[in-house]
Amino acid sequence: MRIYDADISVPMFLGTAQYPSPAILQQAIRASGCEVVTVSLRRETAGGTGAGFWDMLRATGARILPNTAGCHSVQEAVTTAQMAREIFATEWIKLEVIGHADNLQPDVFALVEAARILTADGFKVFPYMTDDLIVGEKLLEAGCKVLMPWGAPIGSGQGLRVPDALRAMRAHFADVPLIVDAGIGRPSDAVQAMELGMDAILLNTAVAKAGDPVGMARAMALAVEAGRAGFAAEPIDRRDVAVPSTPVLGLAELM
Amino acid sequence: MHITVNASAHDISTETLDAALVELGFTSPAIATAVNGQFVPASARGATILNSGDRLEVLAPMQGG
């Protein structure tokens, strides 16, 4: 899968928050083989430790995708993106503009406006969006080359609440990389997303808060691989009635 | 001069942003700055004069999803 200037082979982006320890985060990244990890920016304390976290993450060799998590306005998101570009030395930005405090639903109007400003400024924008076709079109017009529809609210672990909407996005945006961002709870959700033809998933809580984050990272990596292979192998259509798989021809008459 | 740094009130004696960061103890190389909601690149900190009442944000890498 090619996204902007990068070829990504493992279809799974991993968030770096909420792990029991930095060591477990590192092991989870390694266990999943994921090539892209998300990070954020928060207020530094005098003599603070932000640089230590950054050094640790760089040591993993993963590509960095900074986010604008927690931003509720265009200006906050744009300023945060500019600060992230300087610190992390990347034009990639996972653009979040939150519209609702309870379900962390993106404000898609502000999202499109911020995406337009940032792409004009040279950013490569990964927009966290609802599963709306028209919003997707507007984001592409704004210069985005990838779309990241939610599966369910961030951190909810509900899986894909509206698979049909994602299927419609796949059909409508045949040549655009689609990444399900948010809502993945279990490996079966990851398989489902990939079987729908998504190009990748982005997840954090499902791995970080699992009983065994490293084991779950590995399970998720297997799941996305299985789902992707299944989609490529073209599953059969569902039928309402049984169809014998063993040939009827040559069946003995024993009554 | 009174300014607000990451939502806390501070009294500083320096004028430029880069000097203020040193005075405030922000010595990490991995920080980014904004004044009154506007990004100030590292290369512009030396020429950025702070004024009383300014809101300075100093951000650093953090875990994120």
Task: Identify any residues that bridge with B35 across adjacent strands, giving them in sequence order.
Answer: B38, B56
pLDDT in tens, A50-96: 778 888 888 899 999 999 999 999 999 999 999 999 999 999 999 99
**Helix-then-strand count for chain A, H and E:** 9, 10
Partner residue opposite A51 with nearest CB, options B7, B59, B60: B60
Best interface-test mutation with B: which of A21, A25, A44, A75 has the largest number of B CBs within 10 A? A44
Q: At what angle do helices A22-32 and A50-59 cross, to 10 degrees?
A: 30
Closest CA to A73 of A30, A19, A15, A113: A113
Q: Does A86 touch chain B (CB under 8 A)?
A: yes
pLDDT in tens, A161-197: 999 999 999 999 999 999 999 999 999 999 999 999 9
**Biggest alpha carbon–alpha carbon distance for chain B:** 38
pLDDT score of A48 more than 90: no
- ipTM value for the complex: 0.95
Cα torsion angle, A177, A15, A74, B46, sign = negative
pLDDT, residue A46, reads 80
Q: Does A173 touch chain B (CB under 8 A)?
A: no
Chains A and B form CB pairs within 8 A to the count of: 111
CB atoms within 10 A of CB A188: 13
A188 contacts A226 by C-beta, under 8 angstroms: no
CB atoms within 10 A of CB A48: 20
CA distances to A30, A134, B60 from A205, in Å = 17, 29, 22
Q: Do the chains contact at A44 and B58, CB–CB below 8 Å?
A: yes
pLDDT score of A49 more than 70: no
A15 contacts B64 by C-beta, under 8 angstroms: yes
